[in-house]
Amino acid sequence: MTERLLEGRTALLTGVGSGLGRGIATSFAAAGANVALVARSNAIPDALVRDIRDAGGRAVFIKGDITDPSSLATAVDETVGTYGGIDIVVQIAAHGRSNLSRPLEDITLDEWDEHVAVTLTGCYTVAHAAYPALKASGSGRFIAITSAYGLAGDASNPIYASLKGAIRGFAKSLAKEWGDDGIAVNVFAPSSESESSNAYFAMHPEAWEGFRAAFPMRRMGNPETDIAPAIVALAGEQFRFVSGQTIPIDGGFYTTL
């Protein structure tokens, strides 16, 4: 039985779809949180809202675009109007092609700017819009998703590694700036399986064997049972004095850096 670690608190989540985002959303709801799913389209969130409600949780879909400050401000206002406030923000949304290998010589400036606008500027937009509500909470939590590649770099994907590293610096700065407001700011570096990664490795088992060697636990994490529970815990009161940290949830992958 899931502990109700977030009972009575409201969480705004961006970029929720399948995989990690779905795992976080369902786990937050199971822990008692009111969940607001913010996305540009209701195609996936509508089904997720139904699943959460069918399981006895509380969730709504609110339309919002993290690349549009006015849209995000409206989404924040709607969440506050629906639930009375916002205690937790989890910024998951990133550029949809972030996982594609692209050496620097093939990256145009327009492509670079497009990724920055979603993954990095989007993180700023969400934080900027949500700050007043998090401050009013008195015990706010702002959580963003980074990557081990934001620490180690990635020879095949400099955009992804650069932006994930920048998010770490942004979060550490917010932790210092927002500390007087009782807001804890942290980032997670998960190694989470997804439908696309599982399909790819099923087709290319030799690639998985090479990748698997980097994990002391010899597997990637399940979004719902391995990754999300740690994020739920950090969003609760047990870890209220933890802020400004990058926390790997990766089966030991970080030990190889």
**How far is the C-alpha of 120 from the C-alpha of 114, rounded, in Å?**
10
SS3 112: helix
160 part of the active site:
yes
| Whether 121 contacts 80, CB under 8 Å | no
Q: Are 29 and 201 in contact (CB under 8 A)?
A: no
d(CA 206, CA 239): 40
How many beta carbons lie within 10 A of that of residue 98, not counting itself? Answer: 16
In a 3-state reduction of DSSP, which class is residue 199? helix
Q: Mapping DSSP to helix (H, G, I), strand (E, B) and coil, where does residue 213 land?
A: coil
Burial 114-153 (b: 16+ CB within 10 A, else e): ebbebbbbbbebbbebbbebbeebeebbbbbbbbbbbbee
**Active-site hit among 131, 149, 160, 254:** 160
- Report the C-alpha gap between 145 and 218 in whole angstroms: 22
Three-state secondary structure call for residue 91: strand
Torsion of the alpha carbons at 32, 34, 39 and 43, rounded to the nearest 10: 70
Task: Give 120-163 as a 3 state SS string.
Answer: HHHHHHHHHHHHHHHHHHCCCEEEEECCCHHHHCCCCCHHHHHH
Active-site annotation, residues: 160
